Structure 1
């Protein structure tokens, strides 16, 4: 199973479940993967920023990737392989592909400043991992401080046949999606899949601009799958109504610093993972924040029964 440019739907960014003492919780990996497969995911993405990839050593990262890949049999799994150097990137990429990954995701280092540097970096990365390895561009300037114009993305896509997908996380970014689809329409760029991140904050309109779906980690990935499905079916109002009901919780989860703590808390409350623990260093929710999240869940439950959880 290899990633290709026709991918669409929802590839949730999976968190890495941990026990309270920092050990990897493999049983929760299995439970979470089963949930994704049974609730509308068309693929998975592991070892992303919200997967706490930077807190794993090389062996642990590969073990986590393998566990998700084996459990997700039938679903394509993208593995984040971003690293300071190409040796580590290539090693993880090749090992992940040998384990059955569908492709890899590569983020640019924050040291890149010019268009030529960005294009050159992706050419070198593609060479390092192997020309036969499908890869995803991660465009997330809010975190990586690297601004990729539509023209730069077009150059990367056209120069690298193995580039199959863009993880679009620019903000604001709706015009970028329109520009890229415009390049396809005028024949100056081949088609690639575009899946969007940023917690899904703009998914309702991103799909209307030409995005193929979502690649993010909101605590209700099943809602994201429903929104993408409704949008594809032309049920615009239904898609927006469902999205709007989740927007207050989605916005709360998007807070820098505590966003992952919120996401893991809700996923643990839903029974998707056993513990909301992060590996240190990591944030935690205070009592007031927990109360606010519970309040938002209660309000959401009026519109979506999936948020009607047992009292704590």
Structure 2
């Protein structure tokens, strides 16, 4: 059954975006799902998100997607799991959303199709999506114009939140997007927008200032989510220099990992080296890392280990 959306309205901290681990032959690696879920909880994650862009969701069939969601949810226990349900049509979205909620998901995440251009089209799509999945199912707006080519102004985000009581969170991945966060929080302070949680993506590339603008934390896939947890903890405690100092140490690797196309390969490689997943395999079509890229990542990890010992605890 759908859960009370109120806790997610106030969610803070880090909800790592989980990649989908695969065996070298392309089969889903369920043992790595268990290990990764345990790691997210142990490193201080406040929840997790599955079947997002990082989860290679378009490469899964419907049955696989649901079984993966169920596996994460079962293993996560009390840790809230948000399931990405974006689909070309509402029938598939409704099926995965309702089945995920029945399995114990905390909410679902919906991205806009790349055919939307005007504010009316965007707001209308989310209104129809909320109706299609069931207005009792909490949902997260995924605002990622760099990937989906749909530009959501602060005004249209406010409109979606206002028109849909089941909207509980914004996954903010606009770039540049700091002023958007400030606008949304200003409207909230003025009383013209109800409160929802804002968690930020883009690998955490602007997390240091996003938290200062009013974001509640991160929902992204950087291979050191434990660093993101520490940065958000420092930021929410008002420890500005500590947050920036730690963030700056990781910035070279974070920047390298954020490259379009090869970014997922880098993330999976580092997660494999950390022992979080067994293989860095992606399902095809996929962009592989070259030998030169791997050597560059190893160089970055070695430099990072001098400042953060977590980067020195590698396997393989």
TM-score (norm 1): 0.99
Q: Distance in 2 between matches of 1:153 and 1:188?
A: 13
| Aligned-pair CA distance for 1:2 | 4.2
| Aligned-pair CA distance for 1:309 | 3.5
* 1:248 is the counterpart of 2:246: no
Q: Distance in 2 between matches of 1:269 and 1:144?
A: 30
Matched with 1:140 is: 144
Contact 1:2 1:103 in 2 (8 A): no
Q: Which one of the candidate residues 199, 203, 206 is aligned to 1:195?
A: 199
Matched with 1:32 is: 36
Contact 2:273 2:315 in 1 (8 A): no
* 1:293 is the counterpart of 2:267: no
Matched with 2:154 is: 150
Residues 310 and 30 (structure 1), Cα distance of their counterparts in 2 relative to 1, 3 Å cut: closer
Question: Secondary structure in 2 aligned to 1:105?
Answer: strand
Match runs of 1:56-67 below 5 Å? 56-67=60-71
Contact 1:2 1:101 in 2 (8 A): no
Q: Which one of the candidate residues 211, 215, 239 is aligned to 2:215?
A: 211
Q: Distance in 2 between matches of 1:98 and 1:302?
A: 46
Q: Distance in 1 between matches of 2:131 and 2:220?
A: 27
* 1:92 is the counterpart of 2:92: no
| Aligned-pair CA distance for 1:283 | 1.6
How well do the aligned residues superpose, as a CA RMSD in angstroms?
Answer: 0.9
Matched with 1:268 is: 272
Q: Distance in 2 between matches of 1:88 and 1:19?
A: 26
Question: Secondary structure in 2 aligned to 1:45?
Answer: strand
Structure 2: gaps spanning 5 or more residues? none
Q: Which one of the candidate residues 83, 104, 117 is aligned to 2:108?
A: 104
Give per-residue Cα distances to partners, 1:214-262, cap 9 Å, x unaligned: 0000000000000000111111101100000000000000001100000
Match runs of 1:11-26 below 5 Å? 11-26=15-30
Contact 1:177 1:209 in 2 (8 A): yes
Question: Secondary structure in 2 aligned to 1:137?
Answer: strand
Give per-residue Cα distances to partners, 1:78-102, cap 9 Å, x unaligned: 0000000000000000000000000
Q: What is the aligned length?
A: 312
Contact 1:140 1:169 in 2 (8 A): yes
Contact 1:94 1:129 in 2 (8 A): yes
Question: Secondary structure in 1 aligned to 2:140?
Answer: strand
* 1:114 is the counterpart of 2:114: no
Structure 1: gaps spanning 5 or more residues? none
